[in-house]
Structure 1
Amino acid sequence: MNQKHQEDLAHIRSMMERSSRFISLSGLSGVFAGLAALIGGLYTYMLLETRGIGYFRGQDVVLSDNLVSHLILVALIVLLFALTFGIFFTIRKSKKYNLPIWTSATKKMLFNLAVPLAAGGIFCLGLIYHGIYGFIAPATLIFYGLAVINAEKYTFSDIKYLGFSELILGCISLFYIGYGLIFWILGFGILHILYGLVMFKKYK
C-alpha cells in the first residue's frame, strides 16, 4: 500500500513537472549549436587572416563596411543553424517520449528568453551603427546569459549554470576588448557543447 502511494505521488510530480516546465529541450541541441558556433568562429578567424588582419599579432584591427557585413552574415547563419538544430532535436525528443511541445510553459519560457535577447539585439545594432565593434562579443554573451537565466524557471533548472557561465564570460571579455572572437567561441561554442553533453547524459 505504501509503495502504491509513493508511485501515485511520483506520477503526480511527473504530471506537474510536465505542465509547469518545458522539458522537451534536448542536450543535443546545445551540442550542435556549439558545433555551429565553433565552425562559424573558425571561419571568421580564417576570413580575417585572408584579409591580412593578424588576430593574434597585436595589430590594431580596422574593419571595412564590407567585412562587417560579411561577419554579420556569418553570425546570422550560425544563429539559423542553431535554431534549426534546436527545433529538430526538440521535436524528435517530444515525439520519442510523447511530450507536448506548445504548452503554456513553452510560451512563458520563450517570452522570458526573448525579452533580454531582443534588448541585446537592439543594443548590438546600436554598437554596429556607431562602429563600436569591440563590445559586440561581450554584449552578446552577457545578454544571452541573462536570457537563459531568465528562462530557467520554465525549463530544466540546470540551464541556469549555462546562463551564469555565459554571463561571467561576457563580463570578463569586457576587459579584453579585441579578443572577442576567442570569448565568443568559448561561450557559444565550447560551453554549449559541454552543457549539451551533460544534459543529454542526464536527461536522455
Structure 2
Amino acid sequence: MSSENYLKDISEIKHLMNKSSKFISLSGLSGILAGIYALIGASFAYWLVAQSERGYLILDGKVFRLILLDLILVGIFSIGTAIYLTTKKAKKNNQKIWDSLTRRLLTSFIVPLLAGAIYIIIILNQQRYGQTGALMLLFYGLALLSASKYTLGDVKYLGYTQIVIGLICAIFPGYGFWFWVLGFGIMHIVYGTVMYFKYDKK
C-alpha cells in the first residue's frame, strides 16, 4: 500500500469517526443570518428607546414590552433559520437530523441556556436590571461550550468569545446594549462566515 493511499484511508476513517460521534451538519449561513437578525432587532430596539418620551428604557412601560417582543422574534427567526438550514445540510450529508447524538447536543445546549433564562427572569422580578446583558452573553457562551463536545470544535471558540464579552459587559454594565450587539450580532456574523467558508463551501 502506498503512503498516499494509506493517508487517504486514515482520513476517511477519521471522517467516519467524527460523523458518528459529532453532529457535523451545523450551517454557517444560519450563524450569519442569526447575527443579521440580532443587528436588525437591536436597531429597532435602539430606535424605540430613542423615540420614547423619556429617551431611556424603563421595565414597566410599553417600550419595554415591545423590546421584549422584538427579542423573542429575533430568537424565533434565528432558531427557525438554524433548524431549516441545518436540516437541509444534514440531508445533503446523509446524516440523521434526530438521533441520540442530536438529543445529547440539544440537552447540553438547552440546560445551561434554560437555567440562565430562569435566573434572568428571577433577577428582573427583583428589579435588578443592570447585569441582564452580561448574563445573557455568559449563559449563552456556557451553553455553546457545553454543546461543543457533540458538534464541530469551532463552536467552543464562539462560546469562549461570548463568555469573555459577557464578563467585560459585567464590568461595564452601562454599555450592556453595545456588548449585546457585539456578542449576538457581530460575533455571530464573523463566526458564521468562518464556518461557511470552512465547511459549507466545499
TM norm structure 1: 0.91
RMSD of equivalent CA atoms = 1.5
Structure 1 portions without partners, runs of 5+: 56-60
Counterpart pick for 1:171 among 144, 167, 171: 167
Write the distance in 1 (CA, Å) between the matches of 2:62 and 2:189. 31
What is the Cα deviation at residue 130 of structure 1? 1.5
Structure 2 portions without partners, runs of 5+: none
Does 61-70 or 81-90 show the bigger shift?
61-70
Describe the SS at the equivalent of 1:23. Answer: coil
Contact 1:141 1:169 in 2 (8 A): yes
Structure 1, residues 23-45: CA drift from partner, whole Å, max 9, x if none? 01010110000000000000000
Residue 75 in 1 paired to residue 71 in 2? Answer: yes
Counterpart pick for 1:147 among 123, 132, 143: 143
What is the Cα deviation at residue 200 of structure 1? 0.5
Contact 2:39 2:185 in 1 (8 A): yes
Residue 43 in 1 paired to residue 44 in 2? Answer: yes
Structure 1, residues 89-119: CA drift from partner, whole Å, max 9, x if none? 1012112222222232211111111111011
Q: Which residue of 2 is the match for residue 58 of structure 1?
A: none
Q: How many residues align?
A: 199
Residue 22 in 1 paired to residue 28 in 2? Answer: no
Q: Which residue of 2 is the match for residue 8 of structure 1?
A: 9
Describe the SS at the equivalent of 2:171. Answer: coil
Q: Which residue of 1 is the match for residue 113 of structure 2?
A: 117
Does 66-75 or 32-41 show the bigger shift?
66-75
Write the distance in 2 (CA, Å) between the matches of 1:43 and 1:132. 24
Q: Pairwise mapping of residues 59-70 of structure 1 onto structure 2 (< 5 A)?
A: 61-70=57-66
Contact 1:19 1:103 in 2 (8 A): no
Q: Pairwise mapping of residues 81-160 of structure 1 onto structure 2 (< 5 A)?
A: 81-160=77-156
Structure 1 residue identity aligned to 2:38:
A
TM norm structure 2: 0.92
Write the distance in 1 (CA, Å) between the matches of 2:137 and 2:54. 24
| Identical counterparts, % of pairs | 42
Write the distance in 1 (CA, Å) between the matches of 2:110 and 2:76. 16
Residue 183 in 1 paired to residue 184 in 2? Answer: no
